[in-house]
Amino acid sequence: MSADRGGVRLEVHGTVQGVGYRPFVYRLARTLGVDGTVRNDGGTVVIEAGGAGDALEAMALRLAADAPPRARVAGVSRSALPCVPAPGSGFRVADSVVPSEDAGSRDVPPDFATCPSCVAELFDPADRRFRYPFLNCTDCGPRATIIDELPYDRARTAMRRFPLCARCAREYADPADRRFHAEPVACPACGPRLRWGGLSGEAALASAEAVIVAGGIVALKGLGGYQLVSDASNERAVARLRRRKHRPAKPLAVMVRDLAAARLWAEVDEAEAATLSGPARPIALLRSRGVLAPSVHPAVSELGLFLPTTPLHHLLLRDLDRPLIVTSGNASGEAILISDEEAIARLGGIADGFLAHDRPIRSRYDDSVTRRVAGRDRLVRRARGYAPDPLSLPVPSPTPLLAVGAQLKHTFTLATGSSAVVGPHTGDLEDAATLDAFRATCERLQRLTDVRPEVVVHDLHPGYLSTEHARSLRLPAMAVQHHHAHIASCLAEHRVTRPVVGVAYDGLGLGDDGTLWGGEVLIADLVSYRRFGRFATVPLPGGAAAVRRPVRTAISYLLNAGLDAPSFLGRLDPREVAVVTRMVERGVNSPPTSSAGRLFDAVAALLGVRDDNEYEGQAAVELESAASGAAPPLAWRLVPDAAGLLVYDVAPTLAELIASDEPVGVLSARFHATVAAVTVELCSRARERTGLATVCLSGGVFANRRLTEAVLGQLSARGFATYLNERVPCNDGGISYGQAAVAAARLARG
Ligand code: ZN
Ligand code: ZN
Ligand code: FE
């Protein structure tokens, strides 16, 4: 440390653009009496500073320690500055530098919900932005959804078409103002405007609100895509939305004006309250109090609630003062719509009107979904507010790569070095429109992050559109087995590089033996795996047809176990039973599967909880909702198969289940307890054999809170260290990140 005058060039890496970082540096420099400049350069922030040695030292330290709340400083590199700014020359924000070819990786900031200061202005009649639906500041507002190119400057966003008025320009240029260099800054005089048919502004908003009050459906242009909005307290309105959207049963998300309103409809603990009101504002799956319109979440005990994310949502909720259904503007499972033309074409038959505006949406970001399991928030869907914030890889990839994910709840991951950018949830990759959405988002993020993949990573399944897309890229390709990718996603986010016992329970994924897996216990690290145990294998009569109709799977389990269930079979159409029986016995179009998810389906059908899946996982979700109280496990046993794998034989479980006259709630609880006991025993046997005492749980079945908390609790009691996904979903939304982690570890090993 010295008081001698000197100069230094500081380069700050991480999420440092679009988060109020340059204003922060400016204020810091003024406080310390440092001269020079700060600017965005590519994806980094570069500071050229002259001043007293100790002042420069303090500045370098505080760049990370005192960074603004939304910033994430990954590192600060220092070099000498040949030309030191003159003493007393002042400090200023300089023009951004467009990146050169060899710029390093660049982080794109996610969108942030409206901050409390902006909400206060929104409802302050004396403020010039009173009731202005597009107000924002350096702490909040759109980012990822409006950026065209980095560096992040207004000229390279969708705000380019709105020249600042004199008053906004003054705020933007004033270092003392909280809108200093807030790139999307806007006001009623110069910014975007609402539109409803030929109306604009307050008249447009009032018309949309009148439609909602009358029980109609409004298509609303949100932050990362169109949303469908209706009155959640009006049963007929909700039923109409379901009918028109062809979404008979899947729970609908509900937006409420504040935490007090949230507590009217669901149980909200302190941690959940913090998540609900945080800057990402996800939909939180909460325990419902059961008092909303019955069609909101039929047969499911949880309710998805979220708080207003934009000023427009705040205005609607405050004006209407009732809970609103706010759901993605699309057909179920498809990608959310972002273009005005497409929205009108695709949502015209659903919505009674369009509340739109003239700020384009550059990229799709659906609402994120989170759920508290075993005391932690776990993302169920990672999109708005979280993506594309980079995650890290425990083993850095020596080669830039693209991991294309699986099929359902699709995401992709771009990785370079130790950074993994997981793209936002797109939907189920089952049609051309969703594939186009994936490709558009992927190409855009490649350009923004400047990651140019040299290797493409895909699932083993040759029929996934993601695999076909990977093949079409003409890059060196690497296949990663589905359940290995699930376990790797959990290993990677918890930075575990040693081998573990990996429990992967999900719907279906192609195994390396050509059968469909889904109830797997693996011995795995990031590079490789071997199968240790599995659920019993049964034929899946009709493949996808059985996934849609759990009754078929139930018949197959009964046949396989040599069980008769007269009361179950007696309530079915005898022709269906005959057809399915023939398919199973002759092995026609009945691929074998060891899926845990399918066993949950079968039990739901056997207990009369659900015969058909109208959305992925419905039978399992309703089976969990039906369970009540603590109950002992049903009978079960583990038997070795010919290959030496330990197999959960489900025959004793199903035999006891169908013979019992206990209530459905008790039997569901007993079934959950059985799967937990089986899982813990499989892990214990794996530990005896291998000495491994760490367990990673992943796969969509672990969205089941009852099962997951039972397994985690019992494993901990037996001395295991346990991990479960948090920042990426345990469902197939986490597959691309797991694929990237495996590929990076393999490439690093050479
Ligand atoms: Zn704000
Ligand atoms: Zn203005
Ligand atoms: Fe899966």
- Please name the amino acid found at residue 182: A
pLDDT in tens, 30-87: 999 999 999 988 888 999 999 999 999 999 999 999 998 888 899 999 998 888 898 9
pLDDT in tens, 540-572: 999 999 999 999 999 999 999 999 999 999 999
Q: Which ligand is closest in space to the CA of residue 461?
A: 3
The model carries a pTM of 0.94
Q: Distance between CA 497 and CA 409 in Å, rounded?
A: 26
Q: Which ligand is closest in space to the CA of residue 139?
A: 1
| 28 Cα–ligand 3 center, Å | 48
pLDDT of residue 96 exceeding 90: no
pLDDT in tens, 403-456: 999 999 999 999 999 999 999 999 999 989 999 999 999 999 999 998 999 999
Q: Distance between CA 134 and CA 223 in Å, rounded?
A: 10
| 483 Cα–ligand 3 center, Å | 7
| 147 Cα–ligand 1 center, Å | 18
pLDDT of residue 333 exceeding 80: no
Q: With cut-offs at 50, 70 and 90, classify the pLDDT of residue 100.
A: low
Considering the chain, what is the average pLDDT of its residues?
95
Residues whose Cβ atom is located within 5 A of ion ligand 1:
115, 118, 137, 139-140
- 651 is written with which tokens? 């025959």
Residue 207 neighbours by CB under 8 Å, 6+ apart: 196, 197, 199, 353
| 279 Cα–ligand 1 center, Å | 10
User: Which pLDDT value is given to residue 330?
Assistant: 85
Task: Choose between 2 and 6: higher pLDDT.
Answer: 6
**Contact (Cβ atoms closer than 8 angstroms) between residue 318 and residue 130:** no
pLDDT in tens, 465-506: 999 999 999 999 999 999 999 999 999 999 999 999 999 999
What average pLDDT does range 579-608 have in this prediction?
A: 97
Q: Which ligand is closest in space to the CA of residue 162?
A: 2
Q: Distance between CA 424 and CA 105 in Å, rounded?
A: 18
| 195 Cα–ligand 1 center, Å | 23
User: Which pLDDT value is given to residue 356?
Assistant: 98
Q: Distance between CA 43 and CA 34 in Å, rounded?
A: 24
pLDDT in tens, 377-412: 999 999 999 999 999 999 999 999 999 999 999 999
Query: To the nearest 5 percent, what fractions of the chain are helix, strand and coil?
Result: 35, 25, 40
| 94 Cα–ligand 2 center, Å | 22
pLDDT in tens, 693-717: 999 999 999 999 999 999 999 999 9
| 154 Cα–ligand 2 center, Å | 13
Q: With cut-offs at 50, 70 and 90, classify the pLDDT of residue 103.
A: very low
| 511 Cα–ligand 3 center, Å | 11
Q: Which ligand is closest in space to the CA of residue 597?
A: 3
| 114 Cα–ligand 1 center, Å | 5
- Mark 431-451 as b/e (b = at least 16 C-beta within 10 Å): eebbbebbeebbebbbebbbb
User: Which pLDDT value is given to residue 668?
Assistant: 98
| 107 Cα–ligand 1 center, Å | 21
Task: State the first-to-last Cα distance of the chain, in angstroms, to the nearest integer.
Answer: 44
pLDDT of residue 2 exceeding 80: no
Q: Distance between CA 661 and CA 667 in Å, rounded?
A: 9
